[in-house]
A = this chain, B = another copy of it.
Amino acid sequence: MLKISELAEQTGLSAHTLRYYEKHGLINASNRSAAGYRFYTDLDVRRVQFVKTARNTGFSLADIGQLLSIRVDKQSHSCQDVTDITQKKLLEVNAKLAELQSMQQTLELLLESCCGGPENATHCSIMEALDAGLSREDEN
């Protein structure tokens, strides 16, 4: 049985974050000491690690709540339930990716166009491009 600081160390999450996850219904300590100290079992640890892995994969805490409710009762859920959540997340990630890639391209073009030198910015092509709405050609 682990105390919260030991679980924190094992998972790389802070004790604050673990309490925050508990408050939001994601995890729980199976046991409490007489004085109210949380004690975590191996099963608790695995659940926290599941949360952490899902978090790293990009799932929101709300998504993870759903995944956890599948996890504790797999019989009552289908693979489609799982792929629905995963697919939805992939679409979100793809949308953000497209946005960021567009920004990346714009920023790279801006940097290519500017001398980046120490003389004054009266001729700066980055400022000109931003003033011109990034040239009317590839507006979306």
Contact = CB atoms under 8 A, between A and B. Distances in A.
Name A's interface SS.
helix
The size class of the interface chain A forms with chain B is: 35 or more
A81 interface: yes
A33 interface: no
Contacts of A1: none
B86 A107 contact: yes
Interface stretch (A18-26, A34-42, A112-120): A112-120
Interface of A: 46, 49-50, 53-54, 56-58, 67, 70-71, 74-83, 86-87, 89-90, 93-94, 96-97, 100-101, 103-104, 106-108, 110-111, 114-124, 126-127, 130-131, 133-134
